[in-house]
Amino acid sequence: MSPARRPALPMSPTAYQVLLTLGDDALHGYAIMRRFEELTRGADELLPGTLYTTLGRMVELGWIEEASPRRGEESNGPPRRHYRITPQGRKAAKAESERMRRLVAVVKQERPDWLPERAR
């Protein structure tokens, strides 16, 4: 596969969510789904279809790479591939976070009246 022509920013929400969820660990797909649900306290979910196609794309982009699971975390289910974030992925996540921070700053400054009261 050819490397990406342009590291897409804004990145897809799913990709960003995967990068956030991975942190410093090596996780397989289902573990990513579960941890993401825990992190958002069940308010959001990652669905398998989008998640796995996105994982494939992220490998192509070089944001994540295959890794062996940490000792003791291998499951006895079907063999599952584990992924961890690459330096490139870290960079992309950082850039995306920065982009979002700038957006939130605009919101904080403008305080549009459609904002829910809690956020204001």
Binding site residues, other proteins, CB under 8 A: 2, 28-30, 33, 41-43, 47-57, 77-78, 80-81
Residues with Cβ within 8 Å of 3's Cβ and at least 6 positions away in sequence, in order, are 60, 61, 62
- Residue 77 or residue 87: which is nearer to other proteins going by CB? 77
Q: How far is CA 105 from the centre of its chain?
A: 22
We find the least distance from the C-beta atom of residue 84 to other proteins, in angstroms, to be: 17
74-77: long-range contacts at Cβ-Cβ below 8 A with a sequence spacing of 24 or more? 75/28
We find the least distance from the C-beta atom of residue 78 to other proteins, in angstroms, to be: 6
Q: Using CA atoms, how far apart are residues 92 and 69, in angstroms rounded to an integer? A: 23
We find the least distance from the C-beta atom of residue 101 to other proteins, in angstroms, to be: 27
- Residue 81 or residue 91: which is nearer to other proteins going by CB? 81
- Single-letter amino acid, residue 82: H
- Residue 13 or residue 104: which is nearer to other proteins going by CB? 13
